[in-house]
Structure 1
Amino acid sequence: MMMDAGGCVEQGKNIITAAKHVNKRVRYANKTIKKNNRSSSSCKKMRREAVFPRVPEVLQQLFVSCREIFKGPGTVPPASDVNKLRSILDKMKAEDVGLGKNLHFFKARGAVKGTPRVTCTTIYQCDEFSLCIFFIPEAAVIPLHNHPGMTVFSKLLLGTMHIKSYDWIGSIRSIKKNDTTPSPQLRLARLKANSAYTAPCDTSVLYPTTGGNIHEFTAVTPCAVLDVMGPPYSKDEGRDCSYYKDFPYRDHEDGGTRGVSEEEGECYGWLQEIEAPEGAEMDRMEYFGPQIKQTTF
């Protein structure tokens, strides 16, 4: 399957910068179009500006604030710091990371078989936090997954996306289907979100154990999502990503011990940990948007 990498084409009077997926790899091509009424030095200046875009103030502000706020594994930012980061992200636009409002991400060339793949690009990553953008083609899914020990800010930059999220509230239990079928391990969770969101919208925040720590993204239209994760995933440090399948609460009611009504039951779900599904694998591409200034503190 061949797809445009976001159809990411920034077009000026004298330069076109294009990014394309070729055999699941990314190829960037710069093409300069010279006009007779432009001097050579002017063309060179415009080319430099297109290849090395100036960092937007809000993006630099986000980076500096993350350096100040995230203190590494085992820590959670206080409410004042969470509000500070959220207010910065609420102001961010697609253009702040080099994306135009009218870009069409991952336009398939020809028929696409199966679920389209998600692509991720990393703006910056260190031991304390990471800044990443996820490009999610229409109908693509980032499967239900958790964020152990992490505080995560998600800002929808472009498109409409359906989000389903849960928080744990119950202990693990086994459900016996019959004498020959192994009993799956299920755990009760509260449904925190199950709605579609359209950019521009407020930034969502989840915490190591609350706020919708286990969530799933489904693109209703092509989407771009900026994620700030502190700290980032690390298998070596015990922050590996786990995946889940959810079941309606009514399918395995809690033996009458919880005693919820049918309407209240819609607020719960049973989650079963599973192996990483096929849709969990992502393509990676190098970030060619505005470059942050890595200020030394």
Structure 2
Amino acid sequence: MTTETRAVDRGSIRIGHVNKVQYVKRDIKKRKCRRMKRSVPVVPMALQELFVSCRDVFKGPGTVPLPCDVDKLCRILDNMKAEDVGLSSNLQFFNPNVQVKGSSSRVTCTTIYKCDNFSLCIFFLPATGVIPLHNHPGMTVFSKLLLGKMHIKSYDWVDPTNTDDPAQPRQKRLAKLKADTVFTSPCSTSVLYPTTGGNIHSFTAVTPCAVLDVIGPPYSMEDGRDCSYYKEHPYASFPNGEVALTEEEGEGYGWLEEIEVPENSHMDGIEYLGPQIIDT
């Protein structure tokens, strides 16, 4: 999930949680004693474990986590629940039968934590909300669907050479379809790599959704990790390309054409109000 984080970095609109996403409300009970100790916020074990592991696993630009480290992060994320980041399926936003005041088809995002090596972000997609087809240059991304039902479509380049070279002219390039599936929470974590695993992907919400993304390293225009967007064309539209495929084989491929930033890629950024990570 990402252009995703660029919306926050570029100072996008802040939206109050009262009418948008909200977080779990916690009741405060008064104790019958004269002296009350100041309560210390409790960080869910899974969230803190995720943070500590990310700090150990992600080594910065140009590196990819080892398979054992990928398995470690997946195990943590697979066991994470919405409550670990202050959310609940009981919140009005996630009820498909309730029209949330001030809601729209725009996606909302919030950043739990960000440093030079990785970022932890949550994306909130209302029903029919879309994060259009985009890439993750030089990144490894873990996506965990916390709540809702979502359609994910992803591609990898057939020839990944110079994939992220900004000097390359915009043209249609052949890509292999990696996923075209509807996921329903709770489900396993999805992982994409710099050149494999579905590095170019799109999200379409079937119901209101919340997705936790672990991105390493994060997007950075200054470091050449900016986001590109693509338009899909069926393989049959340009059959005389670099690879000769039968009609049946061609269904697993598509031509991707880089496009300008689409209107539906814009996101609203909100402050993260869930449990805070302890950065020691």
**Common fold: TM-score over 0.5:** yes
What amino acid sits opposite 2:56 in the alignment?
E
Q: Secondary structure at the match of 2:92?
A: coil
Please, what TM-score do these two structures have when normalized by structure 2? 0.83
**Structure 1 runs not aligned, ≥5 long:** 15-33, 173-182
Contact kept, 8 Å, 1:76 with 1:151, in 2: the verdict is yes
Q: Residue 134 of structure 1 aligns with which residue?
A: 123
Which one has more relative contact order, counting CA pairs under 8 Å at least 6 apart?
2
Q: Residue 228 of structure 1 aligns with which residue?
A: 214
The question of 1:94 aligning with 2:79 is answered no
Counterpart Cα distance in 1 of 2:84 and 2:24? 15
CA apart distance, 1:4 = 2.1
Relative to structure 1, is the Cα distance of residues 10 and 41 closer, same or farther in structure 2, using a 3 angstrom cutoff? farther
Please, what TM-score do these two structures have when normalized by structure 1? 0.78
What amino acid sits opposite 2:239 in the alignment?
E
The question of 1:154 aligning with 2:169 is answered no
Contact kept, 8 Å, 1:161 with 1:217, in 2: the verdict is yes
Contact kept, 8 Å, 2:149 with 2:208, in 1: the verdict is yes
CA apart distance, 1:263 = 1.7
Q: Secondary structure at the match of 2:42?
A: coil
Counterpart Cα distance in 1 of 2:261 and 2:57? 31
Q: How does 1:107-146 map to 2 (within 5 A)?
A: 107-109=99-101, 116-146=105-135
CA apart distance, 1:9 = 4.8
CA apart distance, 1:13 = 7.1
The question of 1:73 aligning with 2:58 is answered no
Counterpart Cα distance in 1 of 2:268 and 2:34? 38
Contact kept, 8 Å, 2:151 with 2:180, in 1: the verdict is yes
What amino acid sits opposite 1:286 in the alignment?
E
Q: CA RMSD in A?
A: 2.6
Paired-residue identity, %:
64
Q: Residue 261 of structure 2 aligns with which residue?
A: 276
Deviates more, 1:85-94 or 1:259-268: 259-268
Counterpart Cα distance in 2 of 1:151 and 1:170? 19
Counterpart Cα distance in 2 of 1:8 and 1:223? 14
CA apart distance, 1:261 = 2.0
Any idea what the Cα deviations from partners look like across 1:149-192, whole Å, max 9, x if unmatched? 000000000000000000000489xxxxxxxxxx9720000000
Which has the larger strand fraction? 1
The question of 1:10 aligning with 2:2 is answered no
Equivalent position to 1:252, from 238, 243, 252:
238
